[in-house]
Structure 1
Amino acid sequence: MLKRCHWVTSGSLAPELVDYHDKEYSRPVHDEQKALEYLCMEIFQSGLSWQTILKKRKALAEDFENYDLAKVAAFGAEDVERLMADPRIIRNRRKIEAVVQDFQIIEDWHHEGRSFIDYLWSFTEDEVIDIGPAAGEKLPAATTLSKTISKELKTVGFAFTGPVVVESLLQAVGIHNGHNQDCAWHGVMGE
Protein backbone atom coordinates (compact mmCIF):
# COMPACT_ATOMS: atom_id res chain seq x y z
CA MET A 1 0.00 0.00 0.00
CA LEU A 2 1.28 3.47 -0.90
CA LYS A 3 2.33 5.63 2.02
CA ARG A 4 0.94 9.17 2.14
CA CYS A 5 1.79 12.20 4.25
CA HIS A 6 0.76 11.99 7.88
CA TRP A 7 -1.71 14.91 7.57
CA VAL A 8 -3.71 12.87 5.05
CA THR A 9 -3.73 9.59 6.96
CA SER A 10 -4.05 10.86 10.54
CA GLY A 11 -7.86 10.77 10.34
CA SER A 12 -10.28 9.03 8.05
CA LEU A 13 -9.14 8.94 4.44
CA ALA A 14 -11.48 11.62 3.16
CA PRO A 15 -11.72 11.35 -0.64
CA GLU A 16 -11.24 15.09 -1.29
CA LEU A 17 -8.15 15.16 0.94
CA VAL A 18 -6.60 12.10 -0.72
CA ASP A 19 -7.38 13.48 -4.18
CA TYR A 20 -5.81 16.86 -3.36
CA HIS A 21 -2.72 15.21 -1.85
CA ASP A 22 -2.23 12.78 -4.72
CA LYS A 23 -2.89 15.15 -7.63
CA GLU A 24 -2.07 18.70 -6.48
CA TYR A 25 -0.20 19.16 -3.21
CA SER A 26 3.38 20.40 -3.58
CA ARG A 27 3.35 20.08 -7.36
CA PRO A 28 5.04 23.10 -8.99
CA VAL A 29 2.46 25.58 -10.26
CA HIS A 30 3.33 28.43 -12.62
CA ASP A 31 -0.23 29.29 -13.61
CA GLU A 32 -1.47 32.63 -12.25
CA GLN A 33 -5.12 31.55 -12.16
CA LYS A 34 -4.26 28.48 -10.08
CA ALA A 35 -2.13 30.60 -7.73
CA LEU A 36 -5.10 32.95 -7.21
CA GLU A 37 -7.32 29.98 -6.38
CA TYR A 38 -4.82 28.69 -3.83
CA LEU A 39 -4.40 32.17 -2.32
CA CYS A 40 -8.16 32.41 -1.80
CA MET A 41 -8.37 28.89 -0.39
CA GLU A 42 -5.45 29.44 1.98
CA ILE A 43 -6.96 32.67 3.28
CA PHE A 44 -10.24 30.88 3.97
CA GLN A 45 -8.44 27.90 5.50
CA SER A 46 -6.76 30.02 8.18
CA GLY A 47 -7.77 28.52 11.52
CA LEU A 48 -9.73 25.70 9.90
CA SER A 49 -8.96 22.28 8.47
CA TRP A 50 -7.89 21.88 4.86
CA GLN A 51 -10.55 19.21 4.46
CA THR A 52 -13.24 21.79 5.34
CA ILE A 53 -11.97 24.13 2.63
CA LEU A 54 -11.74 21.37 0.04
CA LYS A 55 -15.41 20.57 0.68
CA LYS A 56 -16.24 24.24 -0.01
CA ARG A 57 -13.89 24.55 -3.00
CA LYS A 58 -16.58 24.49 -5.68
CA ALA A 59 -18.68 27.13 -3.91
CA LEU A 60 -15.64 29.36 -3.38
CA ALA A 61 -14.82 29.15 -7.08
CA GLU A 62 -18.40 30.05 -8.00
CA ASP A 63 -18.63 32.93 -5.53
CA PHE A 64 -15.24 34.33 -6.54
CA GLU A 65 -16.00 34.21 -10.28
CA ASN A 66 -13.61 31.28 -10.88
CA TYR A 67 -10.86 33.58 -9.61
CA ASP A 68 -11.21 36.02 -12.49
CA LEU A 69 -8.82 38.68 -11.23
CA ALA A 70 -10.56 41.72 -12.74
CA LYS A 71 -14.02 40.61 -11.58
CA VAL A 72 -12.96 39.88 -7.99
CA ALA A 73 -10.86 43.04 -7.78
CA ALA A 74 -13.99 45.01 -8.72
CA PHE A 75 -16.10 43.50 -5.91
CA GLY A 76 -17.79 46.10 -3.75
CA ALA A 77 -19.86 46.15 -0.58
CA GLU A 78 -22.85 44.47 -2.28
CA ASP A 79 -20.65 41.55 -3.37
CA VAL A 80 -19.27 41.16 0.14
CA GLU A 81 -22.84 41.04 1.50
CA ARG A 82 -23.82 38.51 -1.16
CA LEU A 83 -20.94 36.26 -0.09
CA MET A 84 -21.76 36.77 3.59
CA ALA A 85 -25.22 35.38 2.85
CA ASP A 86 -23.97 32.22 1.13
CA PRO A 87 -24.06 29.27 3.58
CA ARG A 88 -21.95 27.16 1.21
CA ILE A 89 -18.75 29.03 2.12
CA ILE A 90 -17.07 30.22 5.32
CA ARG A 91 -18.94 33.44 6.04
CA ASN A 92 -16.11 35.45 7.51
CA ARG A 93 -16.21 39.09 6.47
CA ARG A 94 -12.50 39.67 7.16
CA LYS A 95 -11.51 36.74 4.94
CA ILE A 96 -13.85 37.79 2.13
CA GLU A 97 -12.58 41.37 2.24
CA ALA A 98 -8.97 40.13 2.39
CA VAL A 99 -9.39 38.16 -0.83
CA VAL A 100 -10.85 41.19 -2.59
CA GLN A 101 -8.12 43.48 -1.26
CA ASP A 102 -5.34 41.07 -2.22
CA PHE A 103 -6.79 40.58 -5.70
CA GLN A 104 -6.92 44.37 -6.13
CA ILE A 105 -3.20 44.59 -5.37
CA ILE A 106 -2.42 41.72 -7.75
CA GLU A 107 -4.49 43.41 -10.46
CA ASP A 108 -2.33 46.51 -10.00
CA TRP A 109 0.73 44.28 -10.37
CA HIS A 110 -0.68 42.94 -13.64
CA HIS A 111 -0.99 46.50 -14.95
CA GLU A 112 2.72 46.87 -14.14
CA GLY A 113 3.54 43.64 -16.01
CA ARG A 114 4.06 41.55 -12.85
CA SER A 115 2.35 38.35 -11.77
CA PHE A 116 1.72 36.93 -8.33
CA ILE A 117 3.03 33.46 -9.13
CA ASP A 118 6.25 34.83 -10.65
CA TYR A 119 6.68 36.99 -7.54
CA LEU A 120 6.44 33.91 -5.31
CA TRP A 121 8.86 31.85 -7.41
CA SER A 122 11.35 34.73 -7.55
CA PHE A 123 12.30 34.05 -3.93
CA THR A 124 13.79 30.67 -4.87
CA GLU A 125 14.83 31.52 -8.43
CA ASP A 126 12.32 28.92 -9.68
CA GLU A 127 13.81 26.16 -7.52
CA VAL A 128 11.71 23.80 -5.40
CA ILE A 129 12.87 23.59 -1.79
CA ASP A 130 12.39 20.28 0.00
CA ILE A 131 11.01 20.86 3.51
CA GLY A 132 9.37 17.46 3.82
CA PRO A 133 9.74 16.12 7.33
CA ALA A 134 11.47 12.86 8.18
CA ALA A 135 9.54 10.10 9.95
CA GLY A 136 8.37 11.29 13.35
CA GLU A 137 8.96 14.98 12.56
CA LYS A 138 6.32 17.60 11.90
CA LEU A 139 5.99 19.87 8.91
CA PRO A 140 6.82 23.44 9.97
CA ALA A 141 3.83 25.78 10.24
CA ALA A 142 6.05 28.66 9.06
CA THR A 143 9.55 28.95 7.65
CA THR A 144 12.10 31.71 7.19
CA LEU A 145 10.90 32.07 3.60
CA SER A 146 7.22 32.31 4.52
CA LYS A 147 8.04 34.92 7.16
CA THR A 148 10.03 36.97 4.63
CA ILE A 149 7.28 36.83 1.98
CA SER A 150 4.57 37.54 4.55
CA LYS A 151 6.41 40.65 5.71
CA GLU A 152 6.80 41.90 2.13
CA LEU A 153 3.16 41.23 1.28
CA LYS A 154 1.96 43.09 4.36
CA THR A 155 4.21 46.02 3.47
CA VAL A 156 2.40 46.45 0.14
CA GLY A 157 -1.05 46.06 1.68
CA PHE A 158 -1.95 42.37 1.49
CA ALA A 159 -4.34 41.09 4.16
CA PHE A 160 -4.62 37.68 5.83
CA THR A 161 -1.20 36.63 4.56
CA GLY A 162 0.63 35.83 7.76
CA PRO A 163 3.59 33.42 7.76
CA VAL A 164 1.40 30.32 8.29
CA VAL A 165 -0.97 31.20 5.42
CA VAL A 166 2.01 32.00 3.18
CA GLU A 167 3.73 28.73 4.13
CA SER A 168 0.62 26.77 3.21
CA LEU A 169 0.51 28.68 -0.08
CA LEU A 170 4.17 27.90 -0.80
CA GLN A 171 3.40 24.22 -0.30
CA ALA A 172 0.24 24.40 -2.42
CA VAL A 173 2.08 25.90 -5.40
CA GLY A 174 5.04 23.55 -5.00
CA ILE A 175 7.71 26.08 -4.09
CA HIS A 176 8.08 24.08 -0.91
CA ASN A 177 7.85 20.31 -1.28
CA GLY A 178 6.13 19.46 1.98
CA HIS A 179 5.60 15.75 1.35
CA ASN A 180 6.97 13.56 4.13
CA GLN A 181 10.30 11.99 3.18
CA ASP A 182 8.68 8.53 3.25
CA CYS A 183 5.58 9.60 1.29
CA ALA A 184 5.20 7.92 -2.09
CA TRP A 185 4.56 11.36 -3.63
CA HIS A 186 7.68 12.99 -2.16
CA GLY A 187 9.69 12.70 -5.35
CA VAL A 188 6.81 13.38 -7.75
CA MET A 189 7.26 16.69 -9.57
CA GLY A 190 5.66 18.34 -12.56
CA GLU A 191 2.40 20.17 -13.10
Structure 2
Amino acid sequence: MSGKVEEFAAIYQRACQRKGGEAALVALTSKPLAPAGLAKLPDNLLLAELTKKVFQSGFVWRVVRQKWPGFCELFFDFDIEKVLLLSDEMLEQKAADPRIIRNLNKVFTIRDNALMIYDIQQHHASFASFIADWPADNIIGLWAYLKKHGARLGGNTGPYALRAIGKDTFILSQDVEAYLRSYGVFDGGLTSQRSLKQIQQQFNLWQQQSGLSLQEISQIVAFSCGENYAGMQR
Protein backbone atom coordinates (compact mmCIF):
# COMPACT_ATOMS: atom_id res chain seq x y z
CA MET A 1 0.00 0.00 0.00
CA SER A 2 1.60 3.23 -1.09
CA GLY A 3 0.30 6.67 -1.98
CA LYS A 4 -1.31 9.64 -0.33
CA VAL A 5 -1.51 9.29 3.43
CA GLU A 6 -5.03 9.13 4.80
CA GLU A 7 -6.70 12.03 6.53
CA PHE A 8 -6.82 11.30 10.24
CA ALA A 9 -10.62 11.14 10.19
CA ALA A 10 -10.42 8.02 8.01
CA ILE A 11 -7.93 6.39 10.36
CA TYR A 12 -10.14 7.25 13.32
CA GLN A 13 -13.24 5.73 11.73
CA ARG A 14 -11.45 2.51 10.86
CA ALA A 15 -10.09 2.24 14.40
CA CYS A 16 -13.62 2.71 15.74
CA GLN A 17 -14.90 -0.10 13.51
CA ARG A 18 -12.07 -2.45 14.54
CA LYS A 19 -12.50 -1.81 18.25
CA GLY A 20 -16.26 -1.92 18.55
CA GLY A 21 -17.29 1.70 18.24
CA GLU A 22 -16.16 5.16 19.26
CA ALA A 23 -16.81 4.70 22.98
CA ALA A 24 -14.73 1.52 23.00
CA LEU A 25 -11.88 3.22 21.14
CA VAL A 26 -11.88 6.21 23.50
CA ALA A 27 -11.72 3.81 26.46
CA LEU A 28 -8.61 2.20 24.96
CA THR A 29 -6.70 5.43 24.44
CA SER A 30 -4.97 7.53 27.05
CA LYS A 31 -3.92 11.16 27.33
CA PRO A 32 -0.58 12.68 28.41
CA LEU A 33 -0.27 14.99 31.37
CA ALA A 34 -0.79 18.68 30.83
CA PRO A 35 2.58 20.50 30.75
CA ALA A 36 1.79 22.34 34.00
CA GLY A 37 1.14 19.04 35.78
CA LEU A 38 4.23 17.40 34.32
CA ALA A 39 6.44 20.31 35.38
CA LYS A 40 5.42 19.78 39.02
CA LEU A 41 6.61 16.16 39.19
CA PRO A 42 9.66 15.53 41.41
CA ASP A 43 12.83 14.74 39.50
CA ASN A 44 13.44 11.55 41.49
CA LEU A 45 10.21 10.18 40.01
CA LEU A 46 11.49 10.91 36.51
CA LEU A 47 14.81 9.18 37.23
CA ALA A 48 12.84 6.20 38.49
CA GLU A 49 10.84 6.01 35.25
CA LEU A 50 13.98 6.29 33.12
CA THR A 51 15.54 3.50 35.15
CA LYS A 52 12.48 1.28 34.93
CA LYS A 53 12.39 1.56 31.13
CA VAL A 54 16.14 0.89 30.84
CA PHE A 55 15.73 -2.34 32.81
CA GLN A 56 12.55 -3.32 30.97
CA SER A 57 14.25 -2.97 27.60
CA GLY A 58 14.92 -6.46 26.27
CA PHE A 59 13.67 -8.02 29.50
CA VAL A 60 10.41 -9.31 30.99
CA TRP A 61 8.52 -6.25 32.19
CA ARG A 62 6.66 -8.26 34.83
CA VAL A 63 9.92 -9.24 36.56
CA VAL A 64 11.05 -5.61 36.67
CA ARG A 65 7.76 -4.62 38.32
CA GLN A 66 8.08 -7.42 40.87
CA LYS A 67 11.57 -6.33 41.85
CA TRP A 68 10.86 -2.61 41.77
CA PRO A 69 10.53 -2.19 45.57
CA GLY A 70 14.12 -3.46 45.82
CA PHE A 71 15.31 -0.83 43.35
CA CYS A 72 13.60 1.92 45.34
CA GLU A 73 15.16 0.69 48.56
CA LEU A 74 18.71 0.30 47.22
CA PHE A 75 18.74 3.60 45.34
CA PHE A 76 17.17 5.87 47.98
CA ASP A 77 13.91 6.27 46.03
CA PHE A 78 16.10 7.66 43.24
CA ASP A 79 17.12 10.79 45.11
CA ILE A 80 19.37 12.52 42.56
CA GLU A 81 22.05 13.81 44.94
CA LYS A 82 22.30 10.55 46.88
CA VAL A 83 22.61 8.50 43.68
CA LEU A 84 25.39 10.77 42.45
CA LEU A 85 27.39 10.04 45.63
CA LEU A 86 27.57 6.32 44.80
CA SER A 87 31.05 5.18 43.82
CA ASP A 88 31.79 2.52 41.23
CA GLU A 89 32.44 0.04 44.04
CA MET A 90 29.10 0.85 45.70
CA LEU A 91 27.27 0.40 42.41
CA GLU A 92 29.01 -2.94 41.87
CA GLN A 93 27.84 -4.09 45.31
CA LYS A 94 24.27 -3.02 44.60
CA ALA A 95 24.37 -4.73 41.20
CA ALA A 96 25.06 -8.02 42.99
CA ASP A 97 22.06 -7.66 45.31
CA PRO A 98 19.34 -10.26 44.58
CA ARG A 99 16.62 -7.75 45.43
CA ILE A 100 17.13 -6.16 42.00
CA ILE A 101 17.93 -7.38 38.49
CA ARG A 102 21.66 -8.02 38.56
CA ASN A 103 22.90 -6.25 35.46
CA LEU A 104 25.98 -4.17 36.20
CA ASN A 105 25.94 -2.15 32.98
CA LYS A 106 22.32 -1.14 33.50
CA VAL A 107 22.92 -0.34 37.17
CA PHE A 108 25.61 2.14 36.12
CA THR A 109 23.03 3.95 33.96
CA ILE A 110 21.19 4.99 37.11
CA ARG A 111 24.07 7.25 38.13
CA ASP A 112 24.69 8.32 34.51
CA ASN A 113 21.09 9.43 34.07
CA ALA A 114 21.08 11.09 37.49
CA LEU A 115 24.06 13.13 36.27
CA MET A 116 22.16 14.14 33.12
CA ILE A 117 19.26 15.30 35.30
CA TYR A 118 21.62 17.17 37.64
CA ASP A 119 23.26 18.97 34.71
CA ILE A 120 19.85 20.07 33.41
CA GLN A 121 18.86 21.28 36.88
CA GLN A 122 21.72 23.79 36.73
CA HIS A 123 19.99 25.63 33.87
CA HIS A 124 16.31 24.88 34.42
CA ALA A 125 13.95 24.91 37.37
CA SER A 126 13.90 21.13 37.24
CA PHE A 127 14.32 18.21 34.86
CA ALA A 128 10.54 17.85 34.90
CA SER A 129 10.07 21.46 33.74
CA PHE A 130 12.70 20.91 31.02
CA ILE A 131 10.73 17.92 29.73
CA ALA A 132 7.39 19.74 30.07
CA ASP A 133 8.60 22.78 28.12
CA TRP A 134 9.96 20.80 25.18
CA PRO A 135 7.67 21.42 22.17
CA ALA A 136 5.65 18.40 21.10
CA ASP A 137 6.00 19.35 17.42
CA ASN A 138 9.69 18.42 17.74
CA ILE A 139 9.43 15.47 20.12
CA ILE A 140 12.07 13.64 18.09
CA GLY A 141 14.49 16.35 19.21
CA LEU A 142 13.86 15.35 22.83
CA TRP A 143 14.39 11.70 21.88
CA ALA A 144 17.75 12.69 20.40
CA TYR A 145 18.69 14.69 23.51
CA LEU A 146 17.99 11.76 25.83
CA LYS A 147 19.94 9.41 23.57
CA LYS A 148 22.96 11.74 23.42
CA HIS A 149 23.12 12.92 27.03
CA GLY A 150 21.56 9.96 28.83
CA ALA A 151 22.53 6.31 29.10
CA ARG A 152 20.73 3.53 27.19
CA LEU A 153 17.86 5.84 26.24
CA GLY A 154 18.04 5.33 22.48
CA GLY A 155 15.63 3.37 20.33
CA ASN A 156 12.16 3.17 21.85
CA THR A 157 13.46 3.26 25.44
CA GLY A 158 13.47 7.06 25.62
CA PRO A 159 10.00 7.45 24.07
CA TYR A 160 8.52 4.77 26.34
CA ALA A 161 10.07 6.53 29.35
CA LEU A 162 8.59 9.84 28.25
CA ARG A 163 5.19 8.20 27.80
CA ALA A 164 5.42 6.76 31.33
CA ILE A 165 6.37 10.16 32.74
CA GLY A 166 3.38 11.79 31.07
CA LYS A 167 5.10 13.68 28.25
CA ASP A 168 3.14 13.78 25.01
CA THR A 169 4.92 11.58 22.49
CA PHE A 170 4.14 9.10 19.78
CA ILE A 171 5.60 5.59 19.93
CA LEU A 172 6.99 3.82 16.87
CA SER A 173 5.48 0.45 17.68
CA GLN A 174 5.42 -2.31 15.08
CA ASP A 175 1.89 -1.42 13.99
CA VAL A 176 2.64 2.30 13.72
CA GLU A 177 5.85 1.66 11.81
CA ALA A 178 4.06 -0.73 9.44
CA TYR A 179 1.35 1.85 8.72
CA LEU A 180 3.85 4.64 8.06
CA ARG A 181 5.92 2.44 5.76
CA SER A 182 2.87 1.21 3.86
CA TYR A 183 1.93 4.79 2.95
CA GLY A 184 5.50 5.85 2.18
CA VAL A 185 5.76 8.41 4.97
CA PHE A 186 9.41 7.35 5.15
CA ASP A 187 11.42 4.83 3.18
CA GLY A 188 14.78 4.71 4.92
CA GLY A 189 15.93 3.40 8.26
CA LEU A 190 13.45 3.96 11.05
CA THR A 191 15.95 5.76 13.27
CA SER A 192 17.63 7.96 10.66
CA GLN A 193 17.16 11.69 11.22
CA ARG A 194 15.60 12.05 7.77
CA SER A 195 13.01 9.38 8.51
CA LEU A 196 12.25 10.72 11.98
CA LYS A 197 11.71 14.24 10.61
CA GLN A 198 9.30 12.88 8.00
CA ILE A 199 7.42 10.96 10.67
CA GLN A 200 7.28 14.00 12.95
CA GLN A 201 5.86 16.09 10.11
CA GLN A 202 3.13 13.51 9.51
CA PHE A 203 2.17 13.40 13.18
CA ASN A 204 2.13 17.20 13.31
CA LEU A 205 -0.26 17.21 10.34
CA TRP A 206 -2.54 14.64 11.97
CA GLN A 207 -2.51 16.72 15.14
CA GLN A 208 -3.63 19.78 13.19
CA GLN A 209 -6.42 17.71 11.59
CA SER A 210 -7.65 16.12 14.81
CA GLY A 211 -6.74 18.34 17.74
CA LEU A 212 -5.66 15.21 19.61
CA SER A 213 -2.39 14.62 21.43
CA LEU A 214 0.48 12.77 19.77
CA GLN A 215 -0.12 9.99 22.29
CA GLU A 216 -3.76 9.52 21.29
CA ILE A 217 -2.92 9.73 17.59
CA SER A 218 -0.19 7.12 17.97
CA GLN A 219 -2.52 4.73 19.76
CA ILE A 220 -5.36 5.23 17.27
CA VAL A 221 -3.07 4.65 14.27
CA ALA A 222 -1.93 1.39 15.90
CA PHE A 223 -5.52 0.32 16.59
CA SER A 224 -6.49 1.06 12.98
CA CYS A 225 -4.19 -1.55 11.45
CA GLY A 226 -2.17 -4.67 12.05
CA GLU A 227 -2.88 -7.68 14.22
CA ASN A 228 -3.66 -6.12 17.58
CA TYR A 229 -6.29 -6.73 20.19
CA ALA A 230 -8.53 -4.46 22.19
CA GLY A 231 -6.74 -3.22 25.29
CA MET A 232 -3.19 -3.41 23.91
CA GLN A 233 -1.25 -0.26 24.71
CA ARG A 234 0.66 1.60 21.96
User: Do the two structures share a fold, i.e. TM-score over 0.5?
Assistant: yes
Summarize the Cα distance change of 1:154–1:174 in structure 2 as closer, same or farther, 3 Å threshold.
Answer: closer
Summarize the Cα distance change of 1:26–1:60 in structure 2 as closer, same or farther, 3 Å threshold.
Answer: farther
Distance (whole Å) between structure 2 residues aligned to residue 121 and residue 163 of structure 1:
21
Matches within 5 A, 1:1-191: 28=33, 29-30=38-39, 31=41, 32-124=43-135, 145=139, 147-155=140-148, 157-176=149-168, 177=215, 180=219
Distance (whole Å) between structure 1 residues aligned to residue 160 and residue 86 of structure 2:
25
Summarize the Cα distance change of 1:26–1:70 in structure 2 as closer, same or farther, 3 Å threshold.
Answer: farther
Which has the larger share of helix? Answer: 2
More displaced, 73-82 or 173-182?
A: 173-182
* Paired residue type of 1:49: V
Distance (whole Å) between structure 1 residues aligned to residue 219 and residue 49 of structure 2:
21
Name the Cα RMSD after superposition.
2.8
SS in 2 for 1:87: coil
Of the two, which has the highest radius of gyration? 2
Could you state the TM-score of these two structures normalised by the residue count of structure 2?
0.52
Q: Runs of 5+ in structure 2 lacking a partner?
A: 1-29, 169-214, 224-229
Q: Runs of 5+ in structure 1 lacking a partner?
A: 1-24, 130-143, 187-191
Number of residues of Structure 1 aligned to a counterpart in Structure 2: 142
Q: Is the 8 A contact 1:37 1:67 kept in 2?
A: yes
Could you state the TM-score of these two structures normalised by the residue count of structure 1?
0.63
Q: Is the 8 A contact 1:80 1:96 kept in 2?
A: yes
* Paired residue type of 2:117: I
**Cα offset for 1:78?**
2.0
More displaced, 96-105 or 114-123?
A: 114-123
Query: Could you give the per-residue CA deviations for residues 78-102 of structure 1, whole angstroms, max 9, x where no partner exists?
Result: 2211212111211111111111011
**Cα offset for 1:117?**
1.8
Q: Is the 8 A contact 2:147 2:153 kept in 1?
A: yes
SS in 1 for 2:99: coil
**Cα offset for 1:27?**
5.4
Distance (whole Å) between structure 2 residues aligned to residue 148 and residue 93 of structure 1:
29
Distance (whole Å) between structure 2 residues aligned to residue 82 and residue 114 of structure 1:
33
Distance (whole Å) between structure 1 residues aligned to residue 84 and residue 104 of structure 2:
16
Q: What is the percentage of aligned positions where both structures have the same residue?
A: 25
Distance (whole Å) between structure 2 residues aligned to residue 55 and residue 27 of structure 1:
25
